[in-house]
Amino acid sequence: MTTVDSAVNSTWKYLKMYPEFVLGTGYDAFSNRFKASWQVGKNNNLPFKKRFGRAFKAGTDAAVRHNDRLLAQNEGSFWKATKNSITSIWPDLQTNWTSAGEAAKVAGKSAGWAKFKSIGKVLGKRMPLIGAVMTLAFELPNIIRTTTNEGVLAGAGETAKTGVRLGISTLCGALTQAFIPIPFLGGMVGFAAGDLLGRFIVGKSYSEKKEAEKLAQANSQFSIDTSTIPYGGNNMSNDEEFMKLQQAYLQAAGQGNNMNYMNFNNPSNPFGSFNMMG
């Protein structure tokens, strides 16, 4: 087998694993195997880079095997496997809640804390699905808008960007779950951080770009050029300009104007050049 064939086969293997990884429970299989391999490397005093590389490969292989096993159990259908994963959440919560409480009583430990941890374990396995649903809920309107305004290819591009974000966020969640032992919380921290990283890599969405353009256009319409202000801004009035302004006021008031609000040139005005009508 040539190098190219090997690369193609590896790429296809990981792409085939992707749906189960971001929507199913392959994430949990990756995290558990990564954690175990990391600990082995740590016990053997392996350097960080080598330890991480081995743990990452072990986790990835475990996720691939997990995906192959689920497909075999569900007639090769990912959607059937996903449906079973979703519909089994409530029964798993009930089963784990009861068994955790009984095991804690036998061990003389707090049943309440054990039951709470059992919820985290069940939801932790489905965390990618929860995160994916939340992400898609926000991104679906953007994809529809892009497709409507720019065409199918542009919509496919936005869909691909969302897929990249989901993959990065799920991978980061799996890694942090391996290092943070608190069920569900560790994965959520990594998922949030991974989503930010994914946004940075793929850039702004179509809708975000359009909103930024609207904001820039609105700001340009309401911007003021201070250089055009005759008696302020960057063109402060000098004595000659002030005299012109004073003369304009005098002309507006006029000789014999009954309103005569101001008389600038009355020397008897104790306030200087202004004489307010009393």
Domain boundaries in the chain? 1-87, 126-223, 226-278
Chain-centre distance for alpha carbon 97: 32
In this predicted structure, what is the pLDDT of residue 238? Answer: 56
> d(Cα 59, Cα 42) in Å, to the nearest integer?
16
207 and 158 Cβ atoms separated by less than 8 Å: no
Dig out the tokens for 89 from the structure: 């959440």
In this predicted structure, what is the pLDDT of residue 47? Answer: 93
Chain-centre distance for alpha carbon 17: 24
Spans of the chain below 50 pLDDT: 231-233, 235-237, 255-265, 268-278
pTM over 0.85: no
58 and 51 Cβ atoms separated by less than 8 Å: no
In this predicted structure, what is the pLDDT of residue 224? Answer: 54
Contacts 24+ apart (CB under 8 A), 195-199: 195/131, 195/135, 195/165, 195/168, 195/169, 197/168, 197/169, 197/172, 198/164, 198/165, 198/166, 198/167, 198/168, 198/169, 199/165
> d(Cα 258, Cα 267) in Å, to the nearest integer?
20
> d(Cα 168, Cα 174) in Å, to the nearest integer?
10
**Helix 26-43 / helix 3-23 crossing angle, nearest 10 deg:** 110
139 and 162 Cβ atoms separated by less than 8 Å: yes
Sign of the dihedral through C-alpha 85, 86, 90, 91: negative
